[in-house]
Amino acid sequence: MTKTDSRRITFTQISLFSVLLGGHYGGTVSVGEAKSFGNLAIATMDRLDGEVQMIDGVLYQACADGRVRLPGDAETIPFGTVADFRPEHELKLDGIPSYEAFEERMKDICPGEDFPLAIRLAGRFGFMKVRTVRRQERDGVGLAEAAKDEAVFEWKDISGDLIGFRLPGYVAGVNAPGWHLHFMDADRLHGGHVVNFALSGGDLSFCRANDYRIRLPDTPDAFAGLDLNRDWSGDLKKAEAER
């Protein structure tokens, strides 16, 4: 394992996860501003339109019809997490048969779970399953309900980048604790929110945040009709029922 950088590292969260759980899907932060926060991110686009992966500062939108597009800087994001990604450690991984096995391996590699963690795993995957939520034309349909109409894609023997975050339990209500991973293939033609995978082999890099920020919406009515003080754990469990 190689240690590379221990300077201050910032993660920036765009809005609150409870806003999505409550069915508010309007974008509040521009793609251009999101890029200014860092070089690695997972997010969704305005109206919950697909899954976003930012890799090396390039933002890709994986749509429910299978297309991957590059959104313009003026387009907007309602929710996401962006990392100023500068790896603390880099190492080789191989022979991981499932998402759950990856989680267990990471407990050994990076046991401290009190700090937000960002990862990038560039490798070859024997199996990859992702989902992509379809665009929602109106607010009010909660995330768990919207996810029922998601598109699911599966590939075998595919290369690409697995990116994402492991967040501590204390973020509950503002984000989803635990692992949240997205995938983008090497040709940048396929991607989405990871449901399961099997890793043949690859290069893992990761860093922990010691500066975690929340970029709240500028509009005064962004939280209109939402009770942000309620317990959202039940809604979160339904929305994340299958990753």
**169-203 confidence digits (pLDDT tens):** 999 878 999 999 999 999 999 999 999 999 999 99
Q: What is the pLDDT of residue 4?
A: 47
Within a domain: 115: yes
Residue type, 25: Y
Q: What mean pLDDT is predicted for residues 140-161? A: 90
Q: Has residue 223 been placed in a domain?
A: yes
pLDDT in the model for residue 145: 82
Model confidence pLDDT, tens digit, residues 111-140 = 888 999 999 999 999 999 999 999 998 888
Q: What is the CATH number of the domain that holds 83?
A: 3.30.1330.80
Average of per-residue pLDDT across 67-74 = 98
Domain that holds residue 156: 7-239
pLDDT, residue 236, reads: 64
The answer to the question of residue 188 being in a domain is yes
Q: How many domains does the chain have?
A: 1
55, part of any domain: yes
1 in a structural domain: no
Q: Is 2 inside a domain boundary? A: no
* In-domain check, residue 59: yes
Q: Which of 161, 133, 127, 163 is nearest to 146 (CA)?
A: 133
